[in-house]
Structure 1
C-alpha cells in the first residue's frame, strides 16, 4: 500500500466523518430489536419470523464483508466509501417503504452488505490517515460510533417507532445516512493511500496463515465474551429492579462506559496489541466469574454490569489492528481482506455468544449466563498469551 502523510486536522475530520457513519450503520443493525413487535403486527408474522430481520442482517455482514472487500480492493478508497454509504441509504429506504416482509428483508440484506464493506474499508482508512503508533487509537475513534450505536439502537429505535412508526424510524436512518455521505464527501481526503489489488488466492493465503487465523478466532471469542450476558441485559436489569425509563437511563450510562472502554482500549493497544488484549481478556474473565455472585444485589449488580460495559468492547481496536498487522507482515496486499474477515469474525462472536447465553439461560437460569462469557474470555486469553510468547 502506498503511503501518504496527512495533517492532524485532516486526520481528525476524517475520523469524525467515519465515526458518524459508523453510528448510523450501527443503529441500523440493532434498531430491528426495538421495532420487532411492530413488524409482527404490520406483516402478521410470528415473532420468530420477525427475528429474521436480525439474523439475516448478521449473515449479510458475514458474507458481504469479505466477498465485497475482495472484489473492490482496487477501487479508490473515497469513491468506494461514498458508494457504500449510497448502498446504505438505498437499503434503509427500501426497508422503510417495503410493502411486504420479503422485500423488507431484501432491504436489510443490502444495508448489511453496506455495513460489512464499510467497516472493513473504514478501518483501513482510519489506520492510513495517522502515524504508525496511533493506528489503534484511530480505529478506536472510528469504532466509537458503532459501540455507542450498539447500546442506544434499541431504546432509540423503540422510542421513534412508538412516537411515529417503524417505517419513520428506518426513513430517519436513511436520512442520517445522507448526512453521513455528505460528511464523508466533504471531510475525507481524496488522496487516500490506495491498497494493492487483492491478488488471486487471497482467501486461501489468509486461511493458511496461522497467525491471521488465530487472530480471527481471538476476535470471535474475545468480542463474543460479553454477549451471553449482554443479549439478556434488559432481563438482568429488570431482575435488579430497573424498569421503563430507569432501564433506558442505565443502558445509556452503559453506552458511555462502552465508549470510554473503546477509547482506552485504542490507546493501550497502539504499541503492543497482544499484550494489551491479554490484560483486557483477563479483566473480562474476572468480571464474568464474579458477576453471578453480585447479580443478587442492586448496587453490586449494577457496578458489575457497568464494568462489563467498560471492558466489553475495549478489545475491538486491538483485535482489528492485530489482524491487519499479521496480514501486512506476510501478505500486505491481503490486509483489506483480512480486515473484512475480522469484521465477519466479530459477528460470528455475536451469534455464538448469544446462542451459548440462550442455552445456559434455558438450562440453569439468567444468573448463570456470565459463565458462558467467562468461557469465551478464558479461551481468548489462552490463545492470546500463546501468541504473545511467540512474539517475545
Structure 2
C-alpha cells in the first residue's frame, strides 16, 4: 500500500499535500472520513428524537432520559484531549481505526443495554472518540491538499456531519419510532463499522511524526493562542445551540405554527448547515480570519433579528436557515487552531470539538434560563447574539495579540 509519511507532517508548518496520493484516492479517503462523520452526527442527534421511547423502555421520565445526551457530550469533552494526548505516538490511520471501532462497538452495545445505568455509561463511552476522530480526520484531509485548499478539504469531511442533520438523523429517528429505538443505534453502529472498512481500504499507512510524544502534544495547552481559539469556539457558537435547542417550541408557541411544521423548520436548519459548510470552507481558504470574524459579526445581527421577528413565520424560516448557515465559520476555526498549535496539532484539533460541545451545553443552558425567567422562546436569539459577540471580542483580542507578537519578531 502507498506510503503516506506526509500525512504526519511536522505540525510547525502548514500541512502539505502528499504528492504520492492521486486526486482520485484523496477523494476516496475524504469520502471514508465523511462517512464516519455521518455516523457520529446521526448518533449524536437521533437520540434527541427518541428520548420518549428510551424513557418508556427503561421506565424513567423523559428529563431523566435526557441525561444520556449529557453523558455523551461529557464523553466528547473528556475524550478528545485525553485520547489525542495518549495516542501521540500512534500512526493516524491506526488511531482513526481504533476511534471508529470504539464508536461502532459503543453504539452496538447501546442497542442491547439491559438497564438505564449501563445505557448511560455506554453513551459516555461512545462519546469518547467523537472529538479525536474529527480532529485527526481534519488533519488527514488538510495534509492531502495544498495549503490554500485546506479549509475546503476539512469542509468536505465535515459534510458527513452536516448531511447527518438533514438525512441521517431523520432516518434513524423514523426507524427508531417505527421499529425500536434500539434499531437506530444498530444502524449507527453499522455506519461506524462501514467506516472502519473504508478507512482500512483507502487510507494508506503513515508514520508517526519525528519527535511525537505526549509531552509535545500537551504543549498545545501552553500556547495562549490555542486557548483563545478554543474560547472562540466555546462561546462564539453557543448561540446556534441556544436557538436550535428550543426551535420546536419557538415554532409552535411563538410563531403559532402547527406541530407538523417543526420538521420543515429542522430541515431548513440542516440545509443552512450544509450550505454554510460548503461556502464557509471556500471563504476560509480565501480569508481565514475574515471568515471567522465576519461570520461572528453576522451572527450577532442575524440572531438579534431572530428574536425581534420570531413571531413572523416567514422571518422565522429565514432566520432558522441563517442560524444553520452560521456553521460556515466551523471549518475556518478548525484550520485556525491547527495553525496556532504549531507542533501539537492533534491535541488542539481534537480539543476544538470539545469546545464545540461546551458551546452546545452553554447555549442550551443559558437559552433555557432566559425562557425560565419569562422572556419567552424568542429570547434565545438575543442569548445567541450575546454568545457571538463574546466570541467576536475574544477573536479580535487574539488577532491583536498575534499582530503585536509578529511586530516584535
Bin for the TM-score computed over the shorter chain: over 0.9
Instruction: Show the counterpart of 1:35.
Output: 50
Instruction: Show the counterpart of 1:337.
Output: 347
Instruction: Show the counterpart of 1:356.
Output: 366
Instruction: Show the counterpart of 1:322.
Output: 336
Deviations 1:332-371 (A, max 9, x none): 1x11011121111111111011111000111111111111
Matched residues in 1 for 2:120 and 2:168: separation?
19
Which region of structure 1 is more displaced relative to structure 2, 184-193 or 5-14? 184-193
Which region of structure 1 is more displaced relative to structure 2, 258-267 or 101-110? 101-110
Instruction: Show the counterpart of 1:89.
Output: 104
- The counterpart of 1:372, out of the listed 376, 383, 387, is 383
RMSD across aligned C-alpha pairs, in angstroms? 1.9
Matched residues in 2 for 1:68 and 1:223: separation?
24
TM-score (normalizing by structure 1): 0.93
Matched residues in 2 for 1:345 and 1:389: separation?
22
- The counterpart of 2:82, out of the listed 67, 81, 87, is 67
> What does 1:116-265 correspond to in 2, within 5 Å?
116-150=131-165, 152=167, 154-191=169-206, 194=209, 196-200=211-215, 202-203=217-218, 205-239=219-253, 240-265=255-280
- The counterpart of 1:381, out of the listed 389, 392, 398, is 392
Matched residues in 2 for 1:314 and 1:76: separation?
30
Deviations 1:62-100 (A, max 9, x none): 001110111112111112212222111110111001111
- 1:102 and 2:117 correspond: yes
Q: What is the CA distance between 1:218 and its match in structure 2?
A: 0.4
Closer, same or farther in 2 for the Cα pair 1:154/1:18, shift >3 Å?
closer
Counting matched residue pairs gives 386
Which region of structure 1 is more displaced relative to structure 2, 187-196 or 157-166? 187-196
Closer, same or farther in 2 for the Cα pair 1:242/1:196, shift >3 Å?
farther
CA contact (8 A) 1:33 1:154 kept: no
Q: What is the CA distance between 1:121 and its match in structure 2?
A: 1.5
Matched residues in 1 for 2:64 and 2:173: separation?
19
Matched residues in 1 for 2:188 and 2:49: separation?
14
- The counterpart of 1:15, out of the listed 11, 30, 36, is 30
Deviations 1:267-321 (A, max 9, x none): 111243222111111111110111122111111221111111112x111111111
Matched residues in 2 for 1:112 and 1:223: separation?
20
| Structure 2 residues not aligned, in runs of 5+ | 1-7, 10-15, 404-409
CA contact (8 A) 2:271 2:321 kept: no
Closer, same or farther in 2 for the Cα pair 1:199/1:80, shift >3 Å?
closer
Instruction: Show the counterpart of 1:347.
Output: 357
CA contact (8 A) 1:136 1:318 kept: yes
CA contact (8 A) 1:281 1:377 kept: yes
| Structure 1 residues not aligned, in runs of 5+ | none
Closer, same or farther in 2 for the Cα pair 1:234/1:196, shift >3 Å?
farther
Instruction: Show the counterpart of 2:3.
Output: none
CA contact (8 A) 1:30 1:153 kept: no
CA contact (8 A) 1:141 1:263 kept: yes
Which region of structure 1 is more displaced relative to structure 2, 227-236 or 54-63? 227-236
Closer, same or farther in 2 for the Cα pair 1:362/1:132, shift >3 Å?
same
Which region of structure 1 is more displaced relative to structure 2, 191-200 or 211-220? 191-200
Q: What is the CA distance between 1:251 and its match in structure 2?
A: 1.7
Matched residues in 1 for 2:23 and 2:256: separation?
46
Q: What is the CA distance between 1:201 and its match in structure 2?
A: 6.2
Deviations 1:206-258 (A, max 9, x none): 33311111101001112212111111111122243444554223322321221
Closer, same or farther in 2 for the Cα pair 1:51/1:152, shift >3 Å?
farther
CA contact (8 A) 1:275 1:388 kept: no
Matched residues in 2 for 1:202 and 1:82: separation?
20
